[in-house]
Structures are given as structure tokens and as C-alpha cells.
Amino acid sequence: MTAQLIDGLALSRDMRAQLGQRAAALTAAGRRPGLAVILVGDDPASAVYVRNKVKACEEQGLHSVLERYDATLTEAALLARVAALNADPAIHGILVQMPLPRHIDSHRVIESIATEKDVDGFSVHSAGCLMAGLPGLRPATPYGCMKLIESTGLDLRGKHAVVIGRSNTVGKPMALLLLQAHATVTVCHSATPDLALHTRAADVVVVAVGRRNTLRADMVKPGAVVVDVGMNRNDEGKLCGDVDFPAVREALGPEGWITPVPGGVGPMTITMLLVNTLQAAEART
């Protein structure tokens, strides 16, 4: 018997249906939630991500604006667009798709987004709120991972969670959210000498590295929950995660849980972006 699947598509569908109702209530009150997405350049993967985000907004009745600019857009021009959206009352959330062309300072752009519209949760203010346990907008991917873990029914209090990866957008906020849920958290990264030493003792493993087969069957404990954030291509060019999925699923046994790629973290990331946009719109009085 293999581990049970944590179905990110099904969870997303349920959550988005509820979000649609919240959006309709706000719209009826004259406050239709609005998200602006800015894409600079022609990176094909980024173009797909922003299209999916805008489509998800439209499906749930949110107002959405997609602004596409050539890769030659200057930093000053981008900052001016963000400033205009900061002042636009129809827009409650602003997302600038990363990565930006090299001549633009991403940090400066992120910091230029009004705090209350930072639906990606990447600003220093949002990161600080998470760190301090204060209310705020949480980064969508780790926030979605928390919902996926919650959906298994696991109570994280006192559990040992291992996060592999320490990026500012996934690994670090993931560790903080798990800590907030009273897990004992270990964060591993490229300088961790023996990953398996940590993961074999873990009740929950979140893998956010960007390298296939980072988590293998001999690295997990039966009954654990595994969340695979990675997005890679296998030898056939198909989307795959950071986990050796079939072997790890087998090793986790019937008491274990695992997210698939695709159909796990990806759809939840978009769903939590909508959650954040609604939260931002509801907070506006």
C-alpha cells in the first residue's frame, strides 16, 4: 500500500468556490477585489504563470489587469507603473512576476509596492510581520503548503518538520509558518552535509530545491507527510518535482501522505494569491 495523495487540484477547487462567494459579496458591496499582474520580458514560463493567475481571478469574479512590457522597460518606468497601481482604488493586490530583467533591481521594485497591496508577501514588511507573528499577507507558495498539510488532518504541534531549501520566497517563510503552527523545525540547504539524517526523523518534509530526486525513498520515515514544491523537467520533458515520487510514495506506506507534481503545490500557490487579494480587498474600508 502506498501513501495517500494530497490533491492540490481538489483542495484548490473547493477553496476557490468559497473565494468566489466572498468576491461576489465584496462586488455587491461596491468593492470588487482587483489584482494587477505585471510581466516584464518574454520568459515563456513566466508568461504561463501570469496567464494562469489572471485566468483564476477571472473565474472567481475578481477584477484583474495584466500589464506586459518589453524586456527593455526601464526600472524608473516600472516603478512609475507600480506607483500608479498603488494609487488605483480598483486594485487591491499588485504582483510583479519574477524574475525581472537583470538591469532592474527586484528588491527596489518589491519594496515599492504598497504594503497593503503586497499580495506576494515578498516585501521586508510582510516578511517582518510573518517573523513577528503579526497579521499580514503571507507568501502564496508556503501558505498553500500549509493548507495542503492541514488537509491531511495532521496536527503540527510538537511534530518534527524538515524544510529543504532556504529561499526568501519559499524555504524561509515555510519554516516560519511551520514554527507558528508549533512544529519543531529544521531547515536544510546546500551546505547541509547529510540531508537524510534529518529527513528520516521527520514527520513532515517540505522540499523546495529545484533539483529532481532530492528526496529519495531511503530518506523518509513511513507515515510522514511529504510536500513537493519543486518544478523541474524529467528526461521526457515532463513536469516533475524534487521528490522521487513513485519510490517515496511507496516508502511512506498507507499512513503517509504526499503531494503530486503537477497537481499539488502549483494550483494552491495561485489559490493563495486569490486568498491574499481578497484579504487585501476586505481590509480596505
Q: Give the binding site for ligand NAP (CB under 6 A).
A: 141, 164-167, 169-171, 188-192, 195, 208-211, 229-232, 265-266, 269
Closer by beta carbon to ligand NAP, 120 or else 136: 120
Q: Is the dihedral of CA 206, 212, 214, 219 positive or negative?
A: positive
Active site residue 147: no
Rounded distance between C-alpha atoms, residue 116 and residue 79, angstroms: 17
Which residue's entry shows cell 540547504?
189
Closer by beta carbon to ligand NAP, 49 or else 257: 49
Helix (H, G, I), strand (E, B) or coil at 80: helix
Active site residue 120: yes
8 Å CB contact between 274 and 137:
no
C-alpha cell at 204: 513532515
Task: State the minimum distance, in angstroms, from the CB of residue 247 to ligand NAP.
Answer: 18
Task: State the minimum distance, in angstroms, from the CB of residue 95 to ligand NAP.
Answer: 13
Closer by beta carbon to ligand NAP, 230 or else 256: 230
Closer by beta carbon to ligand NAP, 27 or else 192: 192
Task: State the minimum distance, in angstroms, from the CB of residue 284 to ligand NAP.
Answer: 27
Vertex 124 angle, CA 185 and 51, to 5°? 90
C-alpha cell at 176: 516560519
Residue of 60, 117, 118, 120 marked active site: 120
Task: State the minimum distance, in angstroms, from the CB of residue 253 to ligand NAP.
Answer: 25
Residue of 60, 97, 172, 242 marked active site: 97
Task: State the minimum distance, in angstroms, from the CB of residue 242 to ligand NAP.
Answer: 7
Alpha helices in the chain (DSSP H): 8-28, 44-59, 75-86, 106-112, 124-132, 140-150, 171-180, 195-199, 245-252, 265-283
Closer by beta carbon to ligand NAP, 84 or else 196: 196
User: What is the DSSP track for 34-64?
Assistant: EEEEEEES--HHHHHHHHHHHHHHHHTT-EE
Vertex 111 angle, CA 108 and 113, to 5°? 120
Active site residue 180: no
| Residues carrying an active site annotation | 53, 97, 120
